[in-house]
Chains A and B, each alone.
Chain A
């Protein structure tokens, strides 16, 4: 099992004609099986940080991104479309996008099994266990189009965990749900991830819910100076 993630001197700078956005992470460490929530105002760079952690965004110079002693930042050296980078992303992470992003042409069961096929970690029994655990057995043969938003998010969680990744990245996983459903889905995500010792990095606006679930919180705070918005990651009180 992977020991953990450590991001040191994380830097990303986005710039257009007259604006600039700078994300700075001095240090972020995620222990195996640990859950952490990224909070912050809209535009504070939560998704950008998730992209950086999920090998979806090239880090700036000087960034050190260690996982099992390997600096993942070097994977970007061969370009954004490097096959090893993509494979490493599949191996290390499971993703729960805000909208589920399920394959509309595959059934629930097939969607959940898809990461196993991609990573070569076939385990039908584990898929079935996840389906049962997330309470989606009665819709397992349906296509995503026939599901409610809450059911889709449960399927997305099951899919993110299906190949037993060390880490799950969830971007506002409950934003599209009503309050009760959001609690259920978040609870399932955290519990299912804990069962298989997967770490969870989630972003959320909902600091109350994050606090209620006791998830350690890291806040992105921004300051603007001379047209440059700088966002920094800082520990936040629970």
Chain B
């Protein structure tokens, strides 16, 4: 395209003015990018730490209530719930644990689990006779994945104790669950509760006072994991409203961090808006004055028969080249500044975390935003260019 070639050639001849406009862009964009990158880096490190502990997304019902399957069924369809399991009554969730044939025995909290439980390593499936074991319990009993265990009831005064043979499916990392804990399928906890409620469990050699077939399952509450940190507060309120029961969750800590993120975004957004205003004004005047300075040249091009609407592309092409150069240089300097800042201030961050981060999608959005701003600024120059009178070449030269 002829006009693009002419614009490029003119821009290369007037490199000094190109550098001026690029310098204006870089001077405004680089500090903004660094600020944005640092905000992203620090915030995502904090969020990452919070997300690393699934307990931050956990909502636990409090107290002993009694719910049926019908009460809990609607919750299973709530999209903000990543994982849900009913809970048995609190006094029945401790069992003694020992390795099969082992001599050491430790009491441990039995926690219901299932596929999708964020406490479990991603992709872990727990079969009906399998359990996950906390790091502390595994260390105390020398357990490994595949070890056969016995869960033994602590019920006193019963003629026979309940002994459940299970296999260790996975040893949980220390960060997953504190203390001695066994994560078992809910059906296993339901069985334990039935045992404590004196139901007969013929499969386990237990003779009780009540027939298991007569038992109507009843749950003390639920343990729920929200899909995201942003869902915790609303989900907690929704569960409390639906079940009319109190819950515990780390809502205050989560909301505090999310609130910090929102405030940082707002502050950065306002800063970016002011900077964009300044950059836009500088570029409008810069591109406009360029057209004014090159009035004779542009009118000379029009004199040769190039229509006004084509001539209008001249400053637009130059603005596009300027903005691409400005963006490329800005991101290069941002990367350099990010490395320096990381080396100087990044010691407190988790391993592998970067002090400055701009994800690709955000980078593309920033580039598009800047291009729109620059092209908007160039539109004023384009309007000015297409209004140039080619006759001025004759009139003002004579």
B145 at the interface (CB under 8 A from A): no
Q: Is the CB of B394 within 8 A of A103?
A: no
Q: How far is the CB of A119 from chain B (nearest CB, A)?
A: 6
Residues on the B chain within 8 Å of A104, using CB: 13, 297
**Distance between Cα atoms of A112 and B14 in the complex (Å):** 21
B96 contacts A by Cβ under 8 Å: no
Whole-angstrom distance between the alpha carbons of A87 and B397 in the complex? 23
CB nearest to A81 among chain B residues: B308
Contact among A57, A80, A89, A102 with B305 in the assembled complex (CB-CB below 8 Å): A89
Query: A residues within 8 A CB of B302?
Result: 86
Contacts of A102 in B (CB 8 A): 300
Contact A103 B308 (CB under 8 A): no
Contact B303 A101 (CB under 8 A): yes
Give complex CA distance A221, B14 in Å: 44
Q: Does B306 contact A (CB under 8 A)?
A: yes
Q: Does B395 contact A (CB under 8 A)?
A: yes
Q: Which residues of A contact B12 (CB under 8 A)?
A: 105
Bits for B387-398, please: 1 = Cβ < 8 Å to A, else 0.
101110111011
Chain B residues, Cβ within 8 Å of A216: none
Distance A115 CA – B389 CA, assembled complex (angstroms): 18
The smallest beta-carbon distance between B317 and chain A, in angstroms, is 13
Write the A207-228 contact mask toward B (1 if CB under 8 angstroms, else 0): 0000000000000000000000
Cβ of B197 within 8 Å of any chain A Cβ, yes or no, is no
Question: Does B9 have its Cβ within 8 Å of any Cβ on chain A?
Answer: yes
Task: Specify which of B304, B386, B395 is in contact with A114 (CB 8 Å cutoff).
Answer: B304
Q: Which residues of A contact B14 (CB under 8 A)?
A: 105
Cα A139 to Cα B299 with chains together (Å): 25
A118 to B302 alpha-carbon distance, docked (Å): 10
By beta carbon, the residue of chain A nearest B2 is A117
Which residue of chain A is the closest to B12 with respect to CB atoms?
A105
Main secondary structure on chain B at its contact with chain A? helix
Contact yes or no, B297 A103, CB < 8 A: yes
* Contact of A51 with B305 at beta-carbon distance under 8 Å, contacts A105-B13, A106-B9 already known: no
In the complex, the answer to whether B305 meets A86 with C-beta atoms within 8 Å is yes
Which stretch, A22-30, A65-73, A92-100, A230-238, touches the partner chain B? A92-100
Q: Are B10 and A87 in contact (CB under 8 A)?
A: no
CA distance A82 to B302 in the complex (A): 12
Closest to A115 in B: B304
Q: In the assembly, what is the distance between CA of A78 and CA of B307, in Å?
A: 13
B49 to chain A, nearest CB (A): 56
Residues of B within 8 Å of A99, CB to CB, are 397
Inter-chain contacts of B397 with A (CB < 8 A) = 97-99, 101, 171
User: In the complex, which of the residues A47, A81, A95, A101 contacts B307, with contact meaning CB atoms closer than 8 Å?
Assistant: A81
Chain A residue nearest to B305 in the complex (CB): A90
Chain A residues closer than 8 Å to B303, beta-carbon distance = 56, 89, 95, 97, 101
Contacts A103-B297, A104-B13; is A81 near B391 (CB within 8 Å)?
no
Q: Chain A residue with minimal CB distance to B14?
A: A105
Contacts of A95 in B (CB 8 A): 303-304, 393-394
- CB closest residue in chain A, given B386: A81
Does A5 make an interface contact (CB < 8 A)? no
A50 interfacial contact with B, CB 8 Å: yes
Q: B282 within 8 Å of A by Cβ?
A: no
Least Cβ distance of A22 to chain B in Å? 18
From 186 to 231 in chain B, residues with beta carbon under 8 angstroms from any chain A beta carbon are: none
Which residues of A sit under 8 angstroms from B300, Cβ to Cβ? 97, 101-103
Residues 95 to 153 of chain A near chain B (Cβ within 8 Å): 95, 97-99, 101-106, 114-115, 117-119
7 smallest CB-CB distances across A and B, nearest first, come from: A90-B305, A83-B307, A56-B391, A105-B13, A81-B308, A86-B307, A99-B397
| 11 A-B interface contacts by CB (under 8 A) | A56-B389, A81-B307, A82-B307, A83-B307, A90-B304, A97-B300, A98-B398, A101-B303, A103-B297, A103-B300, A115-B305
Binding site for B on A (CB under 8 A): 47, 50-51, 54, 56-57, 80-83, 86-91, 95, 97-99, 101-106, 114-115, 117-119, 171-172, 175, 203
